[in-house]
Amino acid sequence: MANPTKRLPILPAERALKVISGRWKAVILYHLFDRPRRLTALKAKVPDITQKVLIQQLREMEEHGLVSREIFAEIPSRVEYSATPLGLSLEPILLALCEWGQHHADELNEMDRLADCVIRPRPAQHPVA
């Protein structure tokens, strides 16, 4: 597989937008912020996405280091996706984008068409001694 960084823009802001761009990436990542999820659970959280596009978006985010995939040696096999530390670092950025989207809608008198920005508490991490 080709190195993904060779295809990314050299300007940092353009690079960041390229990595998180796409209709579904922010939504998928949002659902991985609080815990790992299986493909079927992600599909249930984002019902308008096709399974093909969901897998494609997950692969792209995995390629860019935002998502990790863990395959469990079970029968039938189980695969879970989780946000990596790099992916989790996007949480405040996505919240800021959500808040800006609310501001934009408010300026255009379209607040009635929006959902709320929700930040869910992340499970407590145990400090490493």
27 and 74 housed in the same domain? yes
41 and 95 housed in the same domain? no
The answer to the question of residue 72 being in a domain is: yes
**pLDDT for position 129:** 45
Cα–Cα dist 28/11, whole Å = 25
Q: Which tens digits make up the pLDDT trace of 58-116?
A: 999 999 999 999 998 888 888 999 999 999 999 999 989 988 998 999 999 998 888 77
Cis, bond preceding 12 (omega within 30 deg of 0):
no
For residue 120, pLDDT over 70 is answered with no
Residue 127's φ and ψ, nearest 5 degrees, are: -65, 145
83 and 104 housed in the same domain? no
17 touches 26 (CB < 8 A): no
Tell me, yes or no, if the pTM score tops 0.95: no
Q: Which tens digits make up the pLDDT trace of 41-72?
A: 999 999 999 999 999 999 999 999 999 999 98
